[in-house]
Amino acid sequence: MIDNTRRSRKHGARAAVISIFVFLLIWQAATTFTSLGILMPSPLISLSAFFKSFIVPIGPYPIFIHIYWSLVRVVPFYIVGAIAGIILGITMGWYKPVAAIFRPIFEILRPIPPIAWIPIAIVWFGIGEGSKWFLIFLAAFMNVTINSFAGARSTDPVLVGCSKMLGASDWQIFTTVVLPGSVPYIFAGLQVALSSSWATIVAAEMIRSSEGVGWIIISSQETNNSVNTLVGVVAIGIVGFILAVIMREVEAVLVKWTKRDI
Amino acid sequence: MDNPKVKVINLTKKFGDLLVLDDVSFEVAEKEFMCVVGPTGCGKTTFLNSLTKLYLPTSGEILVNGEPVDMKKNNISYIFQEQSTMPWLTVEENVGFGLAIKGVDAKAKREAVDEVLEIVGLNDYRKYYPNELSASMLQRVVIARAFATKPELLLMDEPYGQLDIELRFKLEDELIKLWQRTQTTVLFITHNIEEAVYLSEKILVLTNKPTKIKKIIDNHLPRPRNVVDPEFIKLRNEVTELIKWW
Amino acid sequence: MDEARHMSKSIIVAQGISKTFTNKRGSTKVIENINLEVRENEFLCLVGPGQCGKTTAVNVLSGLEPASTGTVKINGKTITRPGPDRGFVFQSTALYPWLTVMGNVEYGPKVRGIKKSERREKAQYYINLVGLEGFEHSYPNQLSGGMQQRVGIARAYCNEPVVLFMDQPFGALDAQTRYLMQEEIIRIWETAKRTIVFVTNNIEEAIYLADRIVLLTNTPTQIKKEYKIDFPRPRDYTDPDFLALREEITNEMDKTL
């Protein structure tokens, strides 16, 4: 069994490398042999520009400083949004009156894309950092809330009955059954929310900013510098991927009980 | 036995260095009802999956009618514990499903479906949909579907494991009737020794892992069989002694 | 023996219990007018056909679900809700997947505020009793079906309830593991005597285990017949008397389609 999973993981990694390589190859071919090359730089150019940008600044800073600035905007407000989402989602999923009050509002707000919030964010929080934080908070909050809600809703009624029989109070049932039972769902939500918060950085940095990976994309678009646009895209992609991997590892450490290791 | 229906020769299966099936050889005669029993965790699933070539055997051969088994050519049916019917088809459509796939013409199909539905007692329910039936009736639908195609070999993996005794007895009797009428060769895997003694013509007793054949027992008890008959109890105890681990 | 049994007091007294479920399509009477007394340290099996209201009956008797009419008294006290004076072993095992074996078994004492050293000691005793020594730190999904149900039994015992209710605890096990667990539950019960109400659809299992079998009808479920089982333990599944009784009860049991 262990042997099998290890083998399948190795297969998975190999398949991932091949698929990325093939994608780059097609991209290279398309930009070399077709007129697409006029509109869009090839992967060789883009990737070398990406690596070069670690030394040669884009605008004021090299790329890693931009990434740092974007992470400083995203990570804290992702965490705040996630915590708020877990609290609201779980209580909404478990306590019916809470759901009755908040769910309708939540369901109306949920389909609104981050970009649509920009004007409102500016009115509420100005064009400084506040409105950016708000957009990132929102992206995390929405995804985590909906998943935590689903998690609490899916609490096994037999486990609840079992806990009652063993003498647990309502509050103990909430903390010892509903909460741990929701953890896999919460993590699924945290995972989606992380990608979504990170992706929101582009929208957030559309609101006046002078640094960050979103800023690279927006400013390069204004100057028609398609190589730098792609450098920004690559940076967002790679950082997003690394964040997702970190999140999965955190989950693997915290949620041991869903794994089967015999 | 000159012309066994199924002949398994020195079948061996390893997963890496782990030997799970160790040099298994046996024969199933045409129209025979063979039961396979073994201790819990003896690798019955590996045994079955190797027989059906879901796992490629490490060495050894499986012959059907004297030729290497070919899942495309040989008509081999399976019945497992978890049953599936098509929820959008009625009972008779479900039962005729396998025949329809094989392109059997409408008249032959209807005759085959009529025959098996009659035996399993689902005639009155032929227009019902699966969600209108009880679990045991669904089980009958699945069994009828398997027999309707007149398979060369029918593999059954503990289909009655979770049923009440009374229902199990009834379904076992129906199974015997179907088997006698359709003259199908059946290989029936079970944990339940009483069931094996009740159904079989021959009992294949497996060992614990790595799975070997411990004994092959001929079961000539007259039918209909009686579970309280001393001869029956004797055989049941004999098989129990061979595999008892609990 | 019989004398002694008459002397021992009734632990469970159920009078006229019925249960009706109402939904959009109307109401269904699942159990109807069940009167039942279970004596101290008795091993009682409730046996009924397929989809009869066995589970509902044991849920109501244990207080997991309220009765529509009638009363259940345990030790003279009327039962209206779940409580730790009763233990329950579920068909689905209902173990907390995020807790270890130890965590599961000590859950009851823990939520009742019993201090750590005391509840650990108690949990360890019952873990040993059910034969799971060495698996204290395993998670449920690392255990086989039979072992999971042992955890369920230890957890129910660990609250030291007056009565244990078991709803088809071995229903998902294979025939051989089931034989083992039947021997085990008798061994456990003989070591730590409790009143047990055990639900099963397996007549063989009931005859192997019970002091008394209460046969239930199809829905709406009522009591059809009672059988006192006096065979000495350990019982032999292939004993002619055993088989004869099995046949008798099989014939008596309501048919399912």
CA B25 to chain centre: 18
Total tally of structural domains belonging to chain A: 2
- Judging contacts by C-beta atoms under 8 Å, the chain B residues touching residue C253 are 164, 166
Q: Return the SS3 of B245.
A: coil
Residue A170 has pLDDT above 90, yes or no: yes
Strand order in the sheet with C77-78: C26-39, C10-23, C69-74, C77-78
**String of DSSP letters for C155-186:** HHHHT--SEEEEESTTTTS-HHHHHHHHHHHH
Length of chain C measured in residues? 257
Whether residue B224 is preceded by a cis peptide bond, meaning omega within 30 degrees of 0, is: yes
Count other C-beta atoms under 10 Å from residue B240's C-beta. Answer: 18
The CATH number covering residue A183 comes to 1.10.3720.10
CA atoms of C157 and C194, how far apart (whole Å)? 9
**Among B40, B228, B237, beta carbon nearest to C240:** B228
Domain that holds residue A17: 1-40
Total tally of structural domains belonging to chain B: 1
Counts of helices then strands in chain C (DSSP H, E): 9, 10
CA atoms of B29 and B65, how far apart (whole Å)? 10
Q: Which residue of chain C comes nearest to B233, CA vs CA?
A: C238
Structure tokens, A217:
């994309």
Structure tokens, A97:
């009156």
Reduced 3-state DSSP string for A162-185: HHHHCCCCHHHHHHHHHHHHHHHH
Indicate the pLDDT class of residue C55, thresholds 50, 70 and 90. very high
Residue type, C166: M
Q: Please, which residues have CB within 8 angstroms of residue A241's CB and are 6 or more apart in sequence?
A: none
CA atoms of A163 and A180, how far apart (whole Å)? 13
Residue C133 has pLDDT above 50, yes or no: yes
Query: Residue C88 and residue A181: Cβ atoms within 8 Å?
Result: no
B171 lies in some domain? no
Structure tokens, C43:
């091993």
Question: Residue A5's pLDDT is what?
Answer: 54
The CATH number covering residue B239 comes to 3.40.50.300
Helix (H) or strand (E) holding A49: helix A43-52
Q: Which residue of chain B comes nearest to C201, CA vs CA?
A: B164
**Among A177, A255, A260, beta carbon nearest to C142:** A260
Residues A105 and A180 in one domain: yes
B181 lies in some domain? no
Query: Residue A169 and residue C62: Cβ atoms within 8 Å?
Result: no
Four-residue CA torsion sign, A27, A31, A36, A40: positive
Query: Residue A166 and residue C84: Cβ atoms within 8 Å?
Result: yes
Residue B25: name the closest of B52, B54, B51 by CA. Answer: B51
Residues 114-173 of C with CB under 8 A from A: 139-142, 155, 159
Residues A27 and A150 in one domain: no
ipTM value, please give it: 0.88
**Among A156, A161, A176, beta carbon nearest to C64:** A161
- Judging contacts by C-beta atoms under 8 Å, the chain A residues touching residue C112 are 166-167
Indicate the pLDDT class of residue C7, thresholds 50, 70 and 90. low
B123 lies in some domain? no
Strand order in the sheet with C212-216: C86-89, C163-167, C195-200, C43-47, C212-216, C223-228
Question: Residue C3's pLDDT is what?
Answer: 47
Residues A50 and A125 in one domain: yes
B191 lies in some domain? yes
Residues 82-111 of C with CB under 8 A from A: 82-84, 86-88, 90, 92, 94, 96-99, 107-108, 111
Task: Output phi, psi for B9, to 5 deg.
Answer: -120, 115
Indicate the pLDDT class of residue A260, thresholds 50, 70 and 90. very low
Closest approach of chain B CAs to the CA of C172, in angstroms?
7
CA atoms of B163 and B140, how far apart (whole Å)? 12
Residues A124 and A241 in one domain: yes
Asked if A170 has any chain C CB less than 8 Å from its own CB, the reply is no
Closest approach of chain C CAs to the CA of B55, in angstroms?
24
Query: Residue B164 and residue C175: Cβ atoms within 8 Å?
Result: no
Question: Residue A3's pLDDT is what?
Answer: 46
Q: Which residue of chain C comes nearest to B171, CA vs CA?
A: C257
Residues A137 and A74 in one domain: yes
Asked if C250 has any chain B CB less than 8 Å from its own CB, the reply is yes
Closest approach of chain C CAs to the CA of B59, in angstroms?
30
Contact (CB, 8 A) for A75 and A155: no
Q: Which of B38-47, B117-126, B199-208, B213-222 shows the lowest mean pLDDT across its residues?
A: B38-47
CA atoms of A204 and A130, how far apart (whole Å)? 10
Query: Residue A161 and residue C159: Cβ atoms within 8 Å?
Result: no
Domain that holds residue B65: 1-74+186-246
Q: Which neighbouring-strand residues pair with B62?
A: B8
Residues A49 and A29 in one domain: no
Closest approach of chain C CAs to the CA of B155, in angstroms?
19
Average pLDDT rounded to a whole number, residues C186-196: 94
Query: Residue C256 and residue B167: Cβ atoms within 8 Å?
Result: yes
Q: Please, which residues have CB within 8 angstroms of residue C77's CB and are 6 or more apart in sequence?
A: none
CA atoms of C243 and C246, how far apart (whole Å)? 5
What domains lie within chain C, and their CATH numbers?
A: 2-85+161-252 (3.40.50.300)
- Judging contacts by C-beta atoms under 8 Å, the chain C residues touching residue B137 are 257
Residue A71: name the closest of A252, A188, A211 by CA. Answer: A211
Query: Residue A165 and residue C88: Cβ atoms within 8 Å?
Result: yes
Asked if A167 has any chain C CB less than 8 Å from its own CB, the reply is yes
Task: Output phi, psi for B33, to 5 deg.
Answer: -110, 105
Indicate the pLDDT class of residue A223, thresholds 50, 70 and 90. confident
Indicate the pLDDT class of residue C226, thresholds 50, 70 and 90. very high
Residues A75 and A175 in one domain: yes
Residues A104 and A191 in one domain: yes
Closest approach of chain C CAs to the CA of B245, in angstroms?
8
Closest approach of chain C CAs to the CA of B63, in angstroms?
31
Asked if A39 has any chain C CB less than 8 Å from its own CB, the reply is no
Question: Which whole-number Å values give the CA distances from A75 to A87, A201, B5, B122, B133, in the listed order?
Answer: 18, 11, 68, 63, 54
Indicate the pLDDT class of residue C160, thresholds 50, 70 and 90. very high
Question: Residue A261's pLDDT is what?
Answer: 43
Residues A10 and A95 in one domain: no
Residues A107 and A26 in one domain: no
Contact (CB, 8 A) for A134 and A125: yes
Question: Residue A262's pLDDT is what?
Answer: 35
Question: Which whole-number Å values give the CA distances from A101 to A92, A179, A246, C250, in the listed order?
Answer: 9, 21, 35, 55
- Tell me the per-residue pLDDT of B83-140, one tens digit each, with 9 for 90 and over: 788 999 999 999 998 888 888 889 999 999 999 999 888 999 999 999 998 878 888 8
Q: Burial of C4 by CB count in 10 Å (0-12 exposed, 13-18 middle, 19+ buried)? A: exposed
